[in-house]
Amino acid sequence: MRFFTKRIIIFIIIIMIICIGITPTHPSSKVFAQQISVNSYSAIIIDQKTGRVFYEKNAHEPRRIASITKIMTAILAIESGKMNEIVTVSPNATRVEGSSVYLQPGEKIKLEDLVYGLMLRSGNDAAYVIAEHVGGSVEGFVFLMNEKAEQLGMKNTHFANPHGLDDHENHYSSAYDMAILTKYAMENEQFQEISATKVYRTPDPKGNWDRVWYNKNKLVTGLYNYSTGGKTGYTKRAKRTLVSTASKDGMDLIAVTLNTPSSTDWNEHIQMFEYVFNNYEYETILSEGIIKKIDHKVYKNHVYLERDFIYPLKEGEKAQFEINYRLLNPKKEWRKKVDEIPEIVGKTEIYFKDQLIHTMPIYFKHTEKENKSIFDYFSIIFGSIVGVHND
């Protein structure tokens, strides 16, 4: 009986070990969490070039986002093509509560100046004026905000105003969605420049002195040397929210935290940045040029990739890639009529840790037909005689 009991206990222990081994986990996030402390309810850090998620915490849960809303307001203003237009400030805009750049009713100001006031000082009045001018009305602008969110794949987002105040129940986003938005916005050079600006001056219509706006983002103004921009936010219901970007040695990162109970968010972002900068490097997974592994008669030495594919990895991860090449079934006539082969003949599927992370088109290289004139042939012959023609 004792022997039987021991066997049962051993069997139970073995089953427990097996179950622990197959429990789903997010290895990167687990290791990351052991290295740093993130008190924010939601957090994420991604690579700007590839979108790789290094760490996430409640990243897809919809939350109130406060003034980081203004990233969407800013990029829509920039993309409107109206940055050089002069805008008249409406009385309604000057009555918006919260942070302000103290615009005056009837004041005329350049849209570009408003975007600086929006991003550096988080002016809710500036957000309102931008919405009226770019969208025709605040409601029209909100429609544009949600339309852009849908285009970018922000699945857990709905905008109800251009500034992020808690005046609507259906105004929310997620840490992941805000990272996607920032990734898109940072591809725009003008947005990059505005987001990274420490101090901006614009004429004050009431006096002889310029308005001087200092960026509220402490990471940008000196707290973190590698900071390249971002946006702060706070309301009583959203608590502290922060989006920040940083670059070091060619690596560009985006971090987002939502619902941070205190001013620990500055340090949380620095810790996340430093962990990634110290542990990851870009590796070339695929190189541009002829795909030598494809040896089909029709495709051999003719199919190629137009660009490299790089990915940020830590030591030992490169072995976890799998590459699949999917090609069109060649038609019989293609062997004699090469001109009929399409430019794109397939796609490359790139898997990392058994997850499809990227696809790239496979191109077919056609031989260029040369239409040479008599003068061209004479030049070639003459060049070969004098030894200066390079074939």
How many Cα neighbours within 13 Å face the side chain of 46?
25
Contacts of 366 (CB under 8 A, 6+ apart): 338, 339, 341, 343
Burial of residue 237 (number of CB atoms within 10 Å: 0-12, 13-18, 19+): exposed
Q: Is 126 exposed, middle or buried (0-12, 13-18, 19+ CB in 10 A)?
A: buried
DSSP state of 309: E
CB neighbour burial string for 278-299, b if at least 16 within 10 angstroms, e if fewer: eebebeebbeeeebeebeeebb
Alpha helices (H) in 86-153, listed in sequence order: 91-94, 111-120, 124-135, 138-151
- Would you say 312 and 251 are in contact if contact means Cβ atoms under 8 Å apart? yes
Among 290, 303, 307, 291, which residue's Cα sits nearest to residue 366? 303
Which tokens sit at 230?
């971002």
Given 67, 99, 174, 227, the catalytic residue: 67
Is 137 in the active site? no
Measured CA to CA in angstroms, residue 222 lies from 197, 228, 229, 232 at distances of 12, 11, 11, 15
* Catalytic position from the list 40, 42, 70, 99: 70
Q: Which of 40, 42, 99, 122 is catalytic?
A: 122
Active site positions, annotated: 67, 70, 122
